[in-house]
Amino acid sequence: MDRRRFLALAGTGVATTLAGCVPTLGSEPQATEATEADVRAETVATGLRVPWGADYRDGTLYLTERRGRVVRVVDGTVEPVVDLSESVETGGEGGLLGLAFHPDADVAFTYQTYLSGASRKNRVVRHDLTDDWAGEAVLDGIPGAPIHDGGRLLVWDGALYVTSGDAADRESAQDRDALSGKVHRLTLDGDPHPNNPFETTVFTWGHRNPQGLATRENRLFATEHGPDTDDEINLLEAGNNYGWPEVKGTDGGEGFTPALDAFTPTIAPGGAVFYPENGPIEAWRGDLLFGTLVGSHLHRTRIEGAEVVANNRQFTDQFGRLRTTFVGPDSHLYAVTSNRDGRGSPQDGDDRVLRFRPA
């Protein structure tokens, strides 16, 4: 039985009410369910230019802007921290992308697109925060392109996880020695993790353009862009091949790991996070939340074990393109818009940081 079902949401205005569900098409009819969750979105900061990576340090939110700045948000004011634009190549989907802080040292990691001669490349840079963000590349030479640069960073379980897209070279995702089309795992010193499956930086392979990383109960999940079909949610396990371009979506096959769920038409999922079990919105607790760029909504997926059992859309077309979602120290969900990236329709105040809380 296909237990996936779509939970439809009808709502207008900034506050919405989740009040009912309708099933998706599947092999068998599915029961509907009803929940109640009044949610309000409020603007925390405005005037950003294509925010991408997000992380907290000492309770303060830091963001990368794709053009090359790192900024922080203090009492609703956006403050510049460091300008890395001279070392970053922008245009297309590249630029200054992921951001993650070392949990126990004055160190930050960023994911950057840059020019090497006439070629676009990507790299992971380790920054010394005691020396004005001085940096050294710890994973360099990742193929780059105007599309499919990956770029998400996550520090988890004493390691740094890095997503790289296929950089418009589909076949490279199936080349285990290529750096593109992979999820990499490094130590926090920047070396290949000793528990990696192939004695390289590669953790998983066969990816098109993974954009989000999220953890729950010692499991690592990813959101990924498909072509014109089959955006994916994947459960990442060391050494697994997720099939691109040989298979996509929930189609498996010998040697390939199928997605937990897939979305057609595509919605372009962004950064992802699991809502805290003690979060203030009871109906969201334990669910995977991510913004969408094409779908222009906040997406909520319920996962039981390793099975997707429900999907829900909220705030459709209210904020435009939503790039990255994350949970703050206050246990609220936050998201950043991406309406000034050349593919959106900027509204007054864009780009912005949003906070979702009970109405």
DSSP 114-133: EEETTEEEEEEEEEEGGGTT
Average pLDDT estimate for 131-151:
98
pLDDT > 50? residue 23 = no
Ranges assigned E (strand) in 2-118: 6-7, 15-18, 37-45, 51-57, 60-65, 69-74, 77-83, 96-101, 107-116
CA–CA distance, 183 with 200 (Å, rounded to integer): 11
**With bands split at pLDDT 50, 70 and 90, how would you rate the model's confidence at 230?**
very high
CA–CA distance, 6 with 192 (Å, rounded to integer): 40
CATH at residue 70: 2.120.10.30
Classify residue 228 as exposed, middle or buried by CB count within 10 Å of its CB (0-12, 13-18, 19+).
exposed
Handedness of CA 147, 308, 98, 121 (dihedral sign): negative
H/E stretch holding 192 reads none
H/E stretch holding 233 reads strand 231-236
pLDDT at 33: 33
pLDDT at 29: 28
User: Quick check: is 1 in a domain?
Assistant: no
pLDDT > 50? residue 35 = no
Nearest CA to 70 out of 121, 131, 132, 140 is that of 132
Domain coverage including residue 196: 6-358
Domain count, the chain: 1
Q: Do residues 165 and 207 touch, judged by C-beta distance below 8 A?
A: yes
Q: Of 70 and 24, which is predicted with more confidence?
A: 70
Radius of gyration of the chain (CA): 19
**With bands split at pLDDT 50, 70 and 90, how would you rate the model's confidence at 212?**
very high
pLDDT > 60? residue 7 = no
User: Quick check: is 187 in a domain?
Assistant: yes
User: Quick check: is 288 in a domain?
Assistant: yes
pTM confidence score: 0.91
Average pLDDT estimate for 293-317:
96
For residue 245, cis peptide bond before it (omega within 30 degrees of 0): yes
pLDDT > 50? residue 193 = yes
- The count of other CB atoms within 10 Å of the CB of residue 33 is 11
Q: Of 292 and 253, which is predicted with more confidence?
A: 292
